[in-house]
Structure 1
Amino acid sequence: MSSFRFIPLLALALALAGAVAAESAPPPLATAAAEYRVVAREFRLDGVVEALHRSTVSAQTQGQVEELHYDVDDYVEKGALLVRLRDTEHRARVSQATAEVRSATATLERVRDEHERIAGLFAKRSVSESAMDAATAELTAVEAALESATARLEQAEEQLAYTRIRAPYSGLVTHRHISRGEMASPGTPLMSGISLDALRVVVDVPQSLIPAVRAGGQARIQLPDGELIEATRITIFPFADMGSSTFQVRLMLPEGLPGLFPGMFVKTRFVVGERRELLVPQAALVQRSEVTGVYVVDEAGRPSLRQIRVGRQVGDQFVVLAGLDEGEQVAIDPIAASLARKALGDRP
């Protein structure tokens, strides 16, 4: 009787052990297959960031520098007053030209009234034709004198406006070429500046790649923080440099990119064709010191860490150069895969 009682107890113990083992077993791992895809073939080159708007503001009239409102590295809004020249002489010319215009206007009114009076008399045959011609000639001469005086006033006002030099666009001051108290003449450089609102990247591309670059029409720029952005416009110069046999290519950047300044070096990637690459998700990569690997999950669901060699990044995936075959399953959560190996008694 004791042996019969022992068998049910043994079966119950085995069932309980199986249940506990089932409860402690790790859940199935989420995986993704390494697969080949047709991706763009890229050629990488170094480029230099430059400002689209960079210029030197020069004096357009003569005068002594009285005020300098900005210096190097100052940010300037568009239309802000940069330099003010002494305008005493220019104001005097404006006043003189204004007086001449007033005098010519008064003379024109008087001559016009006289012309109308003589024209009325001429219609009644009370004055000779020569008197009428003389009145008309005088009216024409006075009208020309008024036009000349008005032109001198406009010129004087323009020269007065030139004593206030304003910023043509918003940006940073890079050089100050003059100091307070110096005499400025037409053409004298005053300040140089650049705009950070519109930037582009200049790249020297070998002539062997130009046909592929023209055909592809796509390029990306890698920012200092690693982000990749598409160039909004590609401009290829129609001639090559005689010394290096390279073509200059300009890549226009989107507006408002932080952390970029003229003169910085950046990486560029030009699309020059297509090819098949073996890809795995970026989330599946494991970095152990200088070794890159993935957890490969076999048919039984057991993960094992395998070292691989990766290439460039394509979106949220990486190109596998060695270490994996097409169709192999990799865990997309390396931490969960490491815990599963510990639960199974393996080293992580």
Structure 2
Amino acid sequence: MRKKRIFYGILITTFITSLLSLSLSGCSEKSVYKEKTENKISVAAYKTKYISMPNFLKSPGNTDSLNNTVISAHIMGYVIMDDVHQGQPVNRGEILLKLSAPEIASKYYAAKAGFVNAKKTYDRIKRLYSENSVSRQTYDNTLMQYNVAKADLNEAGSYLNYKNIDSPINGIIVKKNVSMGDLVAPGQMLLMIQGVKNLEFKTSVNVKYYDKIKNGETANLKFSSINKTIKGKIISVVRSANPYSHSVLVRISIAKSHMDGLMPGMYGVAYFKIGAEKALIVPKNAVVRRLGITGVYIADKSGQVMFQPIKKGRVYKKKFVVILNGLNPGMTVITGKLNKIDIGDYVTPDF
């Protein structure tokens, strides 16, 4: 009987102790909750919402020169001056090559002698005709011979000028097919020169986007190799599709003010605006990684902080990121003091 009373006494004591512990624990939790709710941290926040975001078509391409010229030989001769090389910049009118053609020089001097003789004869007959000493027919024949000799001299002189080959434009030599001592023939390509001051961008676009790209619209051109992005104007959408790639050629002009750093053949990417799409965005600085998981800190209606995993998409206007999954419109995303808050804290959002 005595043992039974001792057992019940211990049991009652344990029960009372447990009640006191639970009571003290509850008071402690209430105290912590009260402290957190009364000492809320004021943080910058962003209210999620859908926006209408431009949709861009990405298309790679290259710059191309508007001034391309091929220099060919007009006469047969040997190259006797060759001081140019591939990649060399040249100016308009600058002599690039010289040819040796003795027969051309001989024809010129023969034509010059014939012209001098014809002019003397013409001057004499003209004087006699004015004195009525020769007939009109004699005068006309002499005038015709003089004009023929003059034309022969001009023709021989033009061929003589072909011995010196100069540049018709300002640009860069991109191809060279001759060397010192080579024999060249009429029509043979000698040099190719590209202008570097007038450029355009060319790209091929899938035919399904043909009706979405219009002449006169603006396209963004990005050149990653020189870390440069510029705007260009669409000047032509070729109305003929490539039967193999099922694409159409699009030409984009580049303003002279944007030419710095660009050169013919440079790779780039064109971005065409082809409509708009609905997207949910948040500030880029709100996205953090916690235990290897990408997410954002959000606050509920009471201001309590929670960590919400997300799946992010592309960057928008450099300051925002598109959210593909994890958030809904109207949620409060914390953007400030991220290093001073933790899950379970209470905050006062400042929008």
TM-score, structure 1 normalization: 0.71
1:20 maps to none
- Tell me the equivalent position of 1:43: 57
What is the aligned length? 303
Cα RMSD after superposing both structures: 3.7
- Residue of structure 2 equivalent to 1:94: 108
For 1:181-209, what per-residue CA distance to the aligned partner results, in whole angstroms no more than 9, with x for missing partners? 11111111212232332333322212111
Partner of 1:252: 253
Q: Report the Cα offset of residue 288 of structure 1.
A: 6.4
TM-aligned CA deviation for residue 309 of structure 1: 4.6
Tell me, in whole angstroms, the C-alpha distance in 1 between the residues paired with 2:299 and 2:195. 54
Larger Rg: 2
The 1:326/1:186 distance shift into structure 2, 3 A limit, reads same
Write the distance in 2 (CA, Å) between the matches of 1:212 and 1:43. 10
- 1:85 Cα deviation (Å)? 0.7
Q: TM-score, normalised by structure 2?
A: 0.70
Q: Which amino acid aligns with 2:166?
A: R
Match of 1:200 in 2: 200
The answer to whether residue 54 in structure 2 is matched with residue 52 in structure 1 is no
Contact kept in structure 2, 1:311 and 1:318, CA below 8 Å? no
d(CA) in 2 for partners of 1:311, 1:173:
45
- 8 Å Cα contact 1:277/1:319 also seen in 2: no
Residue pair 1:311, 1:319 contacting (<8 A) in 2 also: yes
Would the alpha carbon gap of residues 223 and 100 (structure 1) be closer, same or farther in structure 2, given more than 3 Å must change?
Answer: same
Shift of 1:68: 0.9
2:68 is the alignment partner of 1:66: no
Equivalent position of 2:244 in the other structure: 243
Matched residue of 1:208: which SS?
Answer: helix
Match of residue 105 from structure 1: 119
Task: Give the Cα–Cα distance (whole angstroms) in 2 for the partners of residues 166 and 140 of structure 1.
Answer: 41
Report SS of the residue matched to 1:197: coil
Q: Does 1:232 align with 2:233?
A: yes
CA contact (8 A) 2:316 2:322 kept: no
2:186 maps to 1:186 = yes
Moved more, 318-327 or 92-101: 318-327
Q: Which shows bigger deviation, 154-163 or 323-332?
A: 323-332
Assess, with a 3 A threshold, how the Cα gap between structure 1 residues 62 and 275 changes in structure 2: closer, same or farther.
Answer: same
CA contact (8 A) 2:281 2:323 kept: no
Mapping 1:1-12, distance limit 5 Å: none
Q: 1:139 to 1:203 in 2, by over 3 A?
A: same
Q: Which residue is equivalent to 1:274? A: 276
> CA 1:102–1:219 in structure 2 vs 1: closer, same or farther (change >3 Å)?
same
Structure 2 unaligned runs (5+)? 1-38, 347-351
Deviations 1:131-162 (A, max 9, x none): 8xx62112222222222122112112211211
How much identity, in percent, do the aligned residues show? 23
Structure 1's 243 and 186: CA in aligned 2 closer, same or farther, altered over 3 A? same
Q: Which amino acid aligns with 2:241?
A: A
Residue segments in structure 1 that go unaligned for 5+ positions in a row: 1-24, 119-130
Deviations 1:273-296 (A, max 9, x none): 2233344556x4667699876676
Separation (CA, whole Å) in 2 of partners of 1:93 and 1:50: 43
User: Partner of 1:220 in structure 2?
Assistant: 220
